[in-house]
Structure 1
Amino acid sequence: MVALLGVGLITAPSASAAPPPAPTIAQGNNWDVRPVADGYQLTLRLGAPAPMRSALPLLAVDGEPIGVARQSPDQRTLTLVTTDPGVLKAKDVQLVWSGDVGNDGKKAQARGKAAAGPNDAYWLKPRLGALLKDDPAKPGKFKVETSEYNLGDEAVFLPGLGQKSEVVGKVYTPVGATGKRPFVLFLHGRHSYCYGDASEPQDKPWPCAKGEKPVPSYRGYDGAAHALASSGYQVVSISSNAVNAYDGDAYDAGAQARAELILDHLKLWKKWSTTGGEPFGTKYVGKIDLQNVGLMGHSRGGEGVARAAVVNSDRGGEFGIRAVLPLAPVDFARSTVPGVAMSVILPTCDGDVSDLQGQKFYDDTRYSVTGDAATRSTVTVLGANHNFFNTEWTPGQSEAPSGDDWGGDEKDSPCGAKYAGRLKAKEQQAVGTAYLSGFFRLHLGNEKQFLPLFDGSDARAASAGRAVVRVVSQAPLATRRDVNRFDQALPKGALTGKASAATCSGVKLQPTRAATPPCVSTDGSGDSPHWDSAWFAARTPTMAATRLSWRDKTGVLRLNLPAAQRDVRKFAALSFRAAPDPAGAPKTDLSVRVVDGKGRAVSVPVSKVSDALTRLPGLKENGLPKNLLRTVRIPLSSLKGIDLKDVRAVELRTDKVAKGTVYLSDLAFSSPGVGVSAPAVKLVKVSASDVKVKEGDKGTQTVDFYVRLNRVSTRPVKVYAETSGDLGATVGDVVRTVVFKPGQVKQKISLPVKSNTRDSYDLKFNLVLSVPQDALLDKSFGHGEVIDDDPTPTLTLGNLTTTEQAGDARFPLKLSAPSDRYVGIRGVLKDGTAVLKQDYLSEYDEWDPGSRTVEGYVEPGQTTGVATVKIVDDKVKEPAETFSAVISEADGGEIKLPVTLTATITDND
């Protein structure tokens, strides 16, 4: 075992004692800052283990998150390295989580506050849709055979991780099924990867140490896997413990690595289903259809399967990935998933990915590609948490230790473990099984009887029991006619009466580069999944919507239909998304009025067909209720008395309540449809370059990134680009909307770099591409590095002369010029006529009695520093005595080593 000491020098500790701690340059009760080769290492130590969550662990200095922290294997220590010297002035350091930033909910939970939100009672007995005749969770006609394969803990190298991963999977096979079967792959998320007591510590987190076992997270989806396999689908659930072990250091939190792991497994199954091979021989030859593939990813696995679908398209569509289901997913980088059927499951009591950021997969993808023929949906499950979809993450069912990710008092409304609206673990798993099985059977098997589960009509599966589910759906383009997306200013004259409307995007506490005002001003983030920012694309505009406000019952928002769009007879419903203002009344209402060419009209109160304008359950102290746009769906068959071949206008009227504010999006006529789903191989691909540049000595220069298309596009292509990471005071920040006109294939993004003549750290950062329009993200992270080119200042060390009563004595350190780096030395103390303990002590003696370590430093911007030792004041009259310090290691200063320094102690008796 090794320890990181002093200025980043790695030294083995003595066999007799633990190594002394490094000198701290800032500290609090449970945190400290110390120098390392790349900057300043901030370390926070916790009294109890933090959970290993899919949300990003962040360290906040004086309330401001400064970066993603790496968790120790026991989850008690968190560290990050920054070049920002501001950490030296820190007063407080806390662990916060992406999605929880600014949210006081965890404090409310810790207090055991049990008050209910104003609408909680309604959601205990809400309106429910019709039951399906066929239940997707019901066992099918095939018996299911299970087996596992294990090719080793380090069987494949993942370039996106820079590490080797296990190749392990559990296989669910329909016995007796003939012909090629649709293939479904499950990928779990970020969870503890090893458990047990290590008998032999090791210097890397994976594979598990001796005495530990891998957490079998991949075995946790048996219910959905058996339901699918018994209906004739080939299912495999794979392990990604190595990615979980190392993704704290990955530039994208492991999304690319998870995608590569998925594609590596698919390549194995291509071999096993064509030529065969160990461990299956020829068992699966001719039995699997890898042109009909579905992917489910839970948690960080959700971003992994989304990325896998895109990478597969980028590489020519080797596999027919046609359906992607992110389950309680993260979306740190705002990717889109065009061309592929997608449904995102969002559990409202998610205590891990608490901001429900997976909502953005739907929002960002729905109009991202012209002519996209796929269908997509979100499935919001009330009362469900993050973990219990996986039995291996569920107490009482798991092999390894596990827990409920939603904290607080068990009777808390609406998510406490014993609150009436909270789903029990088996109830939640039944919901997961129903929707996972139904989704893949619909899109891979064309079993259209399950379409009502995903088309926004809120049909129910009997096996889902009492679960309250709300679905938002974008019908495929072939069965949809958009009236108004509500993402731009309304047509002139559309609004009359005492009402106002404005396009909005984002939340007030998280400013982006959107040209529109924020939609909501919240007490904290995490309650507005459409509009909360993403971690790696924090300033990229979020979905735009229309905010409609009124002061009396005279307001009318009228949208006139052009002549070519007035015949709506082929459609089944008029629908839009809506949500109430979180600062307004708990319930509000509007009327939807449809008018034909003869002036005949039918008016339908929103409250009659939907509870979209009833706020979801919960109190803001718990990061609830979530501000989610939900479906208002009016069957056209209910509009009796008007001519559906000559519909002239759709009106939204404020005639139900005298005052209110609502959010609106995506007004369309549509009919349910499965759509056409396939890898989007015909789209152009957009990538960011990598770049290195020397800092320079005078003025300001530029570092030039290039954003490129792989070929000319016949349509305009748009992508957002922004810098992310530790830019220090050297590199200028940038946020840009990059637009490629037809014929253009390259755009330059220049960042200013401030030159100087002081030795400093190299700066590493990223240019992140997100939310592309009419393109696929290929290389979405461009890696930048500014190389410091200034000479290292010369370090000179001096002897010391002191007296017995001095207490602390200091060897002087001097630099030939100031440096932006922390300059340090390390060595050992050796007796002369002065003897350790009798005449002097190491600075670290209180931590390591008998230590002979000596360390010293010069702070950034200074030219002088010291290495301290302690002098023992005795009462014996004696001549002057000496000891020495042999300096063998240094960092940040030019010096020829070793150097022997002499200390002289003058007697004072």
Structure 2
Amino acid sequence: MRPLADGYQLTLHLDAPAPLRASLPLLEVDGTPLGVAKQSPDRRTMTLVTTDPAVRTARDVRLVWSGDLGKEASKGRGITAAAGPTDAYWLKARRGPLLPADPGALGKYKVDTAEYNLGDEAVYLPGLKHRSELLGKVYTPRGAIGPRPLVVFLHGRHQNCYGDPADPNSLDKPWPCPKGMKPVPSYRGYDGPATALASNGYQVVSISANAINGWDGDAYDAGAQARAELILDHLALWQKWSTVGGGPFGTRFVGKVDLQNVGLMGHSRGGEGVARAAVLNADRGGLYGIRAVLPLAPTDFARATVPGVAMSVVLPYCDGDVSDLEGQQFYDDTRYSVTGDTAPRSTVTVLGADHNFFNTEWTPGQSVAPSNDDWAGDEKESPCGAKTPSRLTAKQQQAVGTAYIAGFFRLQLGHERQFLPQFDGSDARAESAGKAVVRVVSQAPLASREDLNHFDTALPAGAVSGKATATVCAGVTTTEVKAALPTCMTTDDWANAPHWTTAWFASKTPTTAVTKLKWSGSNGVVRVAVPAWKRDVRRFAALTFRAAPDPAGKPTTDLTVGVVDGLGRAAAVPVSTVSDALVRMPGANGNGLPKNLLRTVRIPLTSLKGVDLSDVRSVELRTDRVATGSAYVSDLSFSSPGLGLSAPAVLLPKVSASNVTVKEGNKGTHNVDFWVRLSRPSLRPVTVYAETNGELGESVSEVARRLVFKPGQVRQKVTVPITANTRDSYDLPFSLVLSAPHNALLNESFGHGLVLDDDPTPKLTLGNVKTVEKAGVVDFPVRLSAPSDKYITFSGVLKDGTAVIRKDYASVNDDATRPAVRAIDGYVEPGTTTGELQVKILDDKVKEPAETFSAVIGTVDGAVLKVPTTLTVTITDND
């Protein structure tokens, strides 16, 4: 740790490179995570600037991961946790009917495969500031006629090279792979879903992103923009190869690929990459018809939205990397983000699945490079241990992945409606998915649903009666973080609250708001009135909402759903008869389990007997099933399954933040202004959240605002106060992050700020030394003309004069078992004007004249010193 005028720079040196994980690396001080660390290219050094004074007395500094926060497993793995109170239920949980066709089954086409490789540094990615490979594996339906829909797969953040480097120092450049190492072929790990799709007539390309994995440790957004750019670069290749030909395939694909019917699957950080690619494509005018996006076990570090395109987010319940299942927020944030959005979206929670095994190249026993099961708890720990009956084997998990990836794209790109029940919330299942327990939450397209209440704002007066309360809540309360809004639950384990987990690049953006029902009697009723223009619901198939039990209550609870018509007749359906949404998910407290996830309650309208469905006046949630209880509810609507309309959202205005560079100044506080702009005026209000993020220190004030653009308004100013000082320091980069837009697309969502230090570099003065033989360790005079925020270092070599090394003097770092050390190093700590440069004087019993040797200083960092500078040491005999 070293102090700065505006905070503290904390540096952790590791004995071995940090693993390449999807989660963000954090520095934790005495059990408290302080923020996202920047990684050196070799991943051995982690650096963080913080204003937290706790670092001054830190006893324990360690690397932790954003997905592991609060998990008991991160502090004591190997302890077997007891099964949760509902684990036995989930082993025998209800399963929906089989689909009429199996999306995981091979189709009528034989599949040809090929690869293309345009080089390890074939393209420059501005979002990465490095060059990347253009490498992909192609799966083609042999003999298919005409242009075929294109599906692009993108793997996530995983080890990019394996083997022993010929030169360990070559790890400072993580890509291309150093000599002696090989690239990990992660792009080859999705043969199952790629072959299933291609055999049914779809063109599939799985692309490599090892360069991004190697360099994104210092990327401002953890590489999301770079991954999106890489996808569009590959699509540009296919645009050429499918029209005029060329490249490695000649005319083979001319007229064979439909670039106006494109789907994207991204795994891990690749999931955030494909979400960003869909938006980036729309920002650029929708050149490619990206119509469907499937983030698989994705990260979501910046609370982006993906409007306009069909989306299904796959959440593996036993994810040990992105343990907080933060990809849930893609669904939560997008579902009402654009008025009139006609695209369908869903989440698919797969019990018993981990993060890695969807990719065979990340699976032990299947991969060519070292790999692991990312769920690292005890193997007998329920429900995710490798030897528990609820855990899927690698092949079972890959079969589930194939079924849902292939089913989604066949539904959305090929309009194969037989797969609609797989994603509409009715939990119809694929035969090839085997024993897997899967829960789907679905938002039907706008044309197929009638929203009654989002349950994200307070209910009107009189809507709640009896011994019940209804409170809007968002976020969680933890021992470290106190939310500004009423919170939904209290936990020390962020990983068990996917709807309410904090996004590291947009930590002040409010999380999903829901209504928390609490009752202490059987007469409680929450009544939602149906407006006159919505009362005829005969065209819909079901009444649906999302629900989950309160973790502070009983493991299982229940409600009755009542539907009342204009004559006062009512139909009542207990939630427990149609859904297990009010049964706690499996797992005991710890290891991020049980997850508190809202799930689908779907009541077929055919079960609402005795009421006039052309004149529904109210929908009621009644507490007559359980005397006391508590539950969360959200998103009440009438709906029917439907494909909707999906296309790039090119008609939406685009919101961007400017970049700002400012001099620090010497006195007081001054303001720097970011401008947040819309690409064009909007007829509807546009909102977006804006907050500062990065190495703020005390120079840059923390700012968080919700910006509202009124119709016709195209820019807003966000003022960030900057505190000046007179000490030489480093330039300070930071960001203004835009997140969770409403009625707009994110374009330049990170505004880059830079505070330029404008203080003079201090001068370093070093002096000669006169000493006597018996002095032992002696100090050279080291003076700095003014305090600095930098850690000043300088170095050189020791040279004999009449004094001889190891006879008359020695380096303080000398080791008698090795050749004499002649290097000498010194430093001045931040905030001080005196420093240290030492040498050892060796005493003997021989009477001799005064002797001399010298220290020649050849390099200096952080200060002004004319080099080389020669310092002289004179030793006077004391015998």
Which of 82, 91, 105 lines up with 2:49 in the alignment? 82
Please tell me whether residue 874 in structure 1 is matched to residue 841 in structure 2: no
> Residue in 1 aligned with 2:126?
159
Please tell me whether residue 755 in structure 1 is matched to residue 717 in structure 2: no
Structure 1 residues 83 and 286, CA gap change in structure 2 (3 angstroms): same
> Residue in 2 aligned with 1:198?
165
- The structural deviation recorded for 1:902 is 1.4
> Residue in 2 aligned with 1:131?
98
> Residue in 2 aligned with 1:100?
68
- The structural deviation recorded for 1:78 is 3.9
> Residue in 1 aligned with 2:825?
855
Secondary structure in 2 matching 1:388:
coil
Secondary structure in 1 matching 2:489:
coil
Please tell me whether residue 62 in structure 1 is matched to residue 30 in structure 2: yes
In 2, distance between residues paired with 1:858 and 1:555? Answer: 70
Structure 1 residues 71 and 401, CA gap change in structure 2 (3 angstroms): farther
In 1, distance between residues paired with 2:78 and 2:48? Answer: 33
Query: What 5-or-longer segments of structure 1 have no aligned partner?
Result: 1-25, 27-32
Please tell me whether residue 474 in structure 1 is matched to residue 443 in structure 2: yes
Secondary structure in 2 matching 1:530:
helix
Secondary structure in 1 matching 2:306:
coil
- The structural deviation recorded for 1:89 is 4.0
Secondary structure in 1 matching 2:248:
coil
> Residue in 1 aligned with 2:682?
713
Structure 1 residues 160 and 486, CA gap change in structure 2 (3 angstroms): same
In 1, distance between residues paired with 2:10 and 2:874? Answer: 35
Alignment of structure 1 residues 347-496 onto 2, 5 Å = 347-496=316-465
Q: 1:504-529 CA distances to partner (integer Å, 9 max, x unpaired)?
A: 11111299897631111102211100
Structure 1 residues 806 and 186, CA gap change in structure 2 (3 angstroms): same
In 2, distance between residues paired with 1:856 and 1:515? Answer: 48
Please tell me whether residue 173 in structure 1 is matched to residue 143 in structure 2: no
> Residue in 1 aligned with 2:228?
259
Query: Residue 195 of structure 1 aligns to which amino acid in structure 2?
Result: Y
In 2, distance between residues paired with 1:34 and 1:907? Answer: 42
> Residue in 2 aligned with 1:293?
262
Structure 1 residues 822 and 461, CA gap change in structure 2 (3 angstroms): same
Alignment of structure 1 residues 511-550 onto 2, 5 Å = 516-550=485-519
Structure 1 residues 511 and 751, CA gap change in structure 2 (3 angstroms): farther
> Residue in 1 aligned with 2:875?
905
Please tell me whether residue 837 in structure 1 is matched to residue 814 in structure 2: no
Please tell me whether residue 118 in structure 1 is matched to residue 85 in structure 2: yes
Segment drifting more, 619-628 vs 860-869: 860-869
- The structural deviation recorded for 1:74 is 7.6
The answer to whether the 8 A contact 1:841-1:871 is kept is: yes
Structure 1 residues 511 and 445, CA gap change in structure 2 (3 angstroms): farther
In 2, distance between residues paired with 1:836 and 1:193? Answer: 46
In 1, distance between residues paired with 2:823 and 2:493? Answer: 47
Please tell me whether residue 505 in structure 1 is matched to residue 474 in structure 2: yes
Query: Residue 906 of structure 1 aligns to which amino acid in structure 2?
Result: T
Please tell me whether residue 636 in structure 1 is matched to residue 605 in structure 2: yes
Secondary structure in 2 matching 1:483:
strand
Which of 28, 40, 51 lines up with 2:19 in the alignment? 51
Which of 617, 621, 624 lines up with 1:655 in the alignment? 624
In 1, distance between residues paired with 2:487 and 2:842? Answer: 65
In 1, distance between residues paired with 2:304 and 2:36? Answer: 20
Structure 1 residues 85 and 433, CA gap change in structure 2 (3 angstroms): closer
> Residue in 1 aligned with 2:644?
675
Segment drifting more, 800-809 vs 689-698: 800-809
Segment drifting more, 455-464 vs 881-890: 881-890
Which of 541, 548, 570 lines up with 1:601 in the alignment? 570
Please tell me whether residue 615 in structure 1 is matched to residue 584 in structure 2: yes
- The structural deviation recorded for 1:788 is 1.1
Which of 283, 286, 289 lines up with 1:317 in the alignment? 286
> Residue in 1 aligned with 2:858?
888
The answer to whether the 8 A contact 1:40-1:85 is kept is: no
In 2, distance between residues paired with 1:429 and 1:34? Answer: 49
> Residue in 2 aligned with 1:20?
none
Please tell me whether residue 703 in structure 1 is matched to residue 710 in structure 2: no
In 2, distance between residues paired with 1:513 and 1:314? Answer: 36
The answer to whether the 8 A contact 1:531-1:542 is kept is: yes
In 2, distance between residues paired with 1:742 and 1:380? Answer: 39
- The structural deviation recorded for 1:200 is 4.2
> Residue in 1 aligned with 2:543?
574
In 2, distance between residues paired with 1:906 and 1:240? Answer: 65
> Residue in 2 aligned with 1:278?
247
The answer to whether the 8 A contact 1:503-1:516 is kept is: no
In 2, distance between residues paired with 1:44 and 1:656? Answer: 57
In 1, distance between residues paired with 2:94 and 2:385? Answer: 22
In 2, distance between residues paired with 1:85 and 1:386? Answer: 33
The answer to whether the 8 A contact 1:328-1:356 is kept is: yes
In 1, distance between residues paired with 2:42 and 2:698? Answer: 35
TM-score by length of 1: 0.94
> Residue in 2 aligned with 1:588?
557
Query: Residue 260 of structure 1 aligns to which amino acid in structure 2?
Result: E
In 1, distance between residues paired with 2:73 and 2:586? Answer: 14
In 2, distance between residues paired with 1:392 and 1:130? Answer: 32
Query: What 5-or-longer segments of structure 2 have no aligned partner?
Result: none
The answer to whether the 8 A contact 1:842-1:852 is kept is: yes
The answer to whether the 8 A contact 1:57-1:68 is kept is: yes
> Residue in 2 aligned with 1:236?
205
> Residue in 2 aligned with 1:5?
none
In 1, distance between residues paired with 2:598 and 2:768? Answer: 71
In 2, distance between residues paired with 1:67 and 1:779? Answer: 23
- The structural deviation recorded for 1:41 is 6.1
Structure 1 residues 849 and 547, CA gap change in structure 2 (3 angstroms): farther
How many residue pairs align between the two structures?
A: 873
Say what the alpha-carbon RMSD is for the aligned residues: 1.9
> Residue in 2 aligned with 1:799?
768
